[in-house]
Amino acid sequence: MKTVAFALALSLVACGGAAPVVKPPVVAAGPDFSRDEDRVLRVIASADGRFAARAGIVSDESELRSAGVQAILSEDTTTVMEGGRADLFSFDARARALDAAAKILAQYTKNDRENGLEIERLARTLQAERERLAYERELPAGAAPLFVGLAATWPINAAPAEAEQHDARLAKRFEQVMATLGSITPEVRDELEASLDPIEAKVSPSYTKSQVALVRLRVKLGETRVEAAARTSKVDASLEPRLRALEKRLRELAAPLAKHAPPPAPSALACKLAGSPSSILSRMIAPPERQRVCVIVNTLAAAPIDPLVAISLHDDVVVALWALAIASGSRVDAATGDLRPIAETSPHQEAEWTRRAALHASEAIDTALAIDWMLSDPQKHAASWDALGDAPIDLAILELSR
């Protein structure tokens, strides 16, 4: 085993020619939060291309190679290197990167007068990435964001040999998910089915193995037994009166357009806030769970609220109330039938909102709570949030309410 590991380690160096002479970085004596924050972000980015894109980080060769070396030293056979970086299904490699980032952060406390808020943001970012990893490990439920991520980080202009290897590795990932399909909820099945569309658009005719595996996965999804599952989301049921009052207020603001409401606009992608010049995290592209809040902040900061905006915000609150009902034990059809959006929605949009309510209840409810806080003075509060930048919703509201 040691011989194989040594040979593999040599191959990681050999693939790029002679091993470069890397001088150890000069490390300043004592903690330096600005330096260490950058180190934490770069360590996380080295094992997750989605995070790298959000943070605008281009990892260097030594950072990317580290994941492969650590996999060998840990005798981890699950890590797959794709384009120099561990792919998103390499859960153990991602976990090792998060552990390494946590060790760097551990020397700082949130009581730091100068960097307390940024330390809190960084700790919460690390926590969110651990939660993302834990969710995505649980296949098949966690497969949807992985496939969406693989499509978003698709290798560009790969050489023929690299494309052939990528084809084989991608096919194995389809087969890995297919092997986990037993009985699933309708929402998990539909979210997984929808997640295959963007990656299918990337698979060229030359990717013969992936095309076959993708078709087999779609067929297996269609044959998989679907059953309702007990809802285990932890939500605060006492929020219902507050959200009902918010829904009523938005319905009143939307009244002038209620009979002629246009269909919902497509979701924006890669939204980010202005943030603070002194905070890297505040200026990052918002993570998927806060993309909608980011769009709302930008919208409300730009102009006074009008009936059209009120209709859009009402949709968010309706989905939050669906989430609250489903998490509290209601059937999906009963929850979504009790309260309806103002505008007519397409079956596709209805399905997307239903999946959000059933599978991502906390995100839906947090979005409604953000709306509720901003609505007392929409432009002023949204402008303040934009200047604060991206942050967990409860942390942002707490900080902005001081």
pLDDT in tens, 5-20: 434 443 433 344 443 4
The predicted structure's pLDDT at residue 27: 44
Q: Is the alpha carbon torsion for 323, 326, 330, 334 positive or negative?
A: positive
The predicted structure's pLDDT at residue 268: 63
The predicted structure's pLDDT at residue 196: 97
> Residue 6: how many CB atoms within 10 A of its CB?
11
| Residue whose entry in the numeric block shows the structure tokens 């194989």 | 4
| Residue whose entry in the numeric block shows the structure tokens 């991602």 | 94
Question: What is the average pLDDT across 304-310?
Answer: 94
Q: What are phi and psi of 85, to 5 degrees?
A: -120, 150
3-state secondary structure of 141: coil
CA 95 to chain centre: 16
The predicted structure's pLDDT at residue 25: 47
Which residues, in sequence order, are CB contacts of 287 under 8 Å at separation 6+?
Answer: 54, 128, 390
pLDDT in tens, 204-216: 999 999 999 999 9
The predicted structure's pLDDT at residue 314: 97
Length in residues, the chain: 402
Token pair of 380 as six digits: 């002023």
User: How far apart, in whole angstroms, are the C-alpha atoms of residue 108 and residue 120?
Assistant: 10
DSSP class of residue 239 equals G
User: How far apart, in whole angstroms, are the C-alpha atoms of residue 67 and residue 241?
Assistant: 49
Of 72 and 55, the one with more pLDDT: 55
Closest CA relative to residue 133, chosen from 146, 120, 124: 146
Q: With 60 as the cut, is the pLDDT of residue 303 above it?
A: yes
The predicted structure's pLDDT at residue 81: 87
Of 24 and 78, the one with more pLDDT: 78
User: How far apart, in whole angstroms, are the C-alpha atoms of residue 311 and residue 366?
Assistant: 18
The predicted structure's pLDDT at residue 63: 87
The predicted structure's pLDDT at residue 229: 59
The predicted structure's pLDDT at residue 206: 93
Q: With 60 as the cut, is the pLDDT of residue 292 above it?
A: yes
The predicted structure's pLDDT at residue 10: 35
Are the CB atoms for 198 and 150 separated by under 8 Å? no
The predicted structure's pLDDT at residue 259: 77
The predicted structure's pLDDT at residue 22: 41
What one-character-per-residue DSSP string does 37-71 give?
HHHHHHHHHHT-HHHHHHHT----HHHHHHHHHHH
Q: With 90 as the cut, is the pLDDT of residue 56 above it?
A: yes
Q: With 50 as the cut, is the pLDDT of residue 234 above it?
A: yes
What single-letter amino acid sits at 26?
A: V
The DSSP element (H or E) to which 82 belongs, if any, is strand 81-82
Share of the chain above pLDDT 70, in %: 90
Q: With 70 as the cut, is the pLDDT of residue 24 above it?
A: no
Share of the chain above pLDDT 90, in %: 69
Closest CA relative to residue 168, chosen from 82, 105, 92, 241: 82
Are the CB atoms for 143 and 134 separated by under 8 Å? no
The predicted structure's pLDDT at residue 71: 82
Q: With 50 as the cut, is the pLDDT of residue 291 above it?
A: yes
Token pair of 178 as six digits: 């297919």
Q: With 70 as the cut, is the pLDDT of residue 241 above it?
A: yes
Which residues, in sequence order, are CB contacts of 96 under 8 Å at separation 6+?
Answer: 47, 67, 70, 74
The predicted structure's pLDDT at residue 30: 59
User: How far apart, in whole angstroms, are the C-alpha atoms of residue 248 and residue 203?
Assistant: 46
Mean pLDDT taken over the chain: 88
Q: Where are the alpha helices (DSSP H) in 203-306?
A: 208-223, 240-254, 291-302
Q: With 50 as the cut, is the pLDDT of residue 255 above it?
A: yes
Q: With 80 as the cut, is the pLDDT of residue 261 above it?
A: no
pLDDT in tens, 349-388: 999 999 999 999 999 999 999 999 999 999 999 999 999 9
**Rg (alpha carbons) of the chain, rounded to whole number:** 23
Of 163 and 6, the one with more pLDDT: 163
